[in-house]
Amino acid sequence: MEQFAKPGDFCPNEACPDYGKLQDGQTQRNIRKYGKTRASVQRYQCQTCHRTFTGTTGTIFFRKRTPEHEILETLALLAEGSRISSLSRAKGFKEDTILAWLREAAQHAEALEEVLMKDFKIKRGQLDALWAYVRNKGEKKLP
Ligand SMILES: [Zn+2]
């Protein structure tokens, strides 16, 4: 099992010397709370690189072997209606892996929606359909 960090547990900036360092067991913690977003999501700041991030940013990607962009792109293609089986063939990920990303993504929906809508031009309705698909445990087919 891969380990999943709690929100605000580590710096998600790959260029930071403290990237991925968990806060537990550190005498000098590098992450501190830094206000909230408009949607009342807790924001954090890394004291080492001064990057701010929300609690859920990066959490889904923590200790994943696949680069963040690849996972986001896969999620975007799913939202656009690609089937898991065809994505699995095209990209070489196991169907189980894609499903696991999808389930995890749904738990961090709020943080991921911003990125998917802004960077991947995914529409609100497509995201709603995607999360509904996950909630139905994959019983229903994506539109
Ligand atoms: Zn940092």
- Which token pair is 64? 């994943």
Residue written as token pair 């960090």: 5
> What pLDDT was estimated at residue 47?
94
How far is the C-alpha of 76 from the C-alpha of 135, rounded, in Å? Answer: 17
> Distance, CA 10 to ligand 1 centroid (Å)?
8
Residue 4 amino acid letter:
F
> Distance, CA 83 to ligand 1 centroid (Å)?
36
How far is the C-alpha of 134 from the C-alpha of 132, rounded, in Å? Answer: 5
Q: Which DSSP letter does residue 18 get?
A: T
- Which token pair is 132? 């509904």
pLDDT tens digit string along 37-51? 776 778 889 999 998
> Distance, CA 4 to ligand 1 centroid (Å)?
18
Beta bridge partners of 52: 45
What's the pTM value of the predicted model, to 2 decimals? 0.61
How far is the C-alpha of 34 from the C-alpha of 78, rounded, in Å? Answer: 33
> Distance, CA 101 to ligand 1 centroid (Å)?
24
> Distance, CA 51 to ligand 1 centroid (Å)?
6
With contact defined as beta carbons under 8 Å apart, do 107 and 134 qualify? no
> Distance, CA 143 to ligand 1 centroid (Å)?
40
pLDDT tens digit string along 71-122? 889 999 999 999 999 999 999 999 999 998 898 888 878 778 878 898 899 9
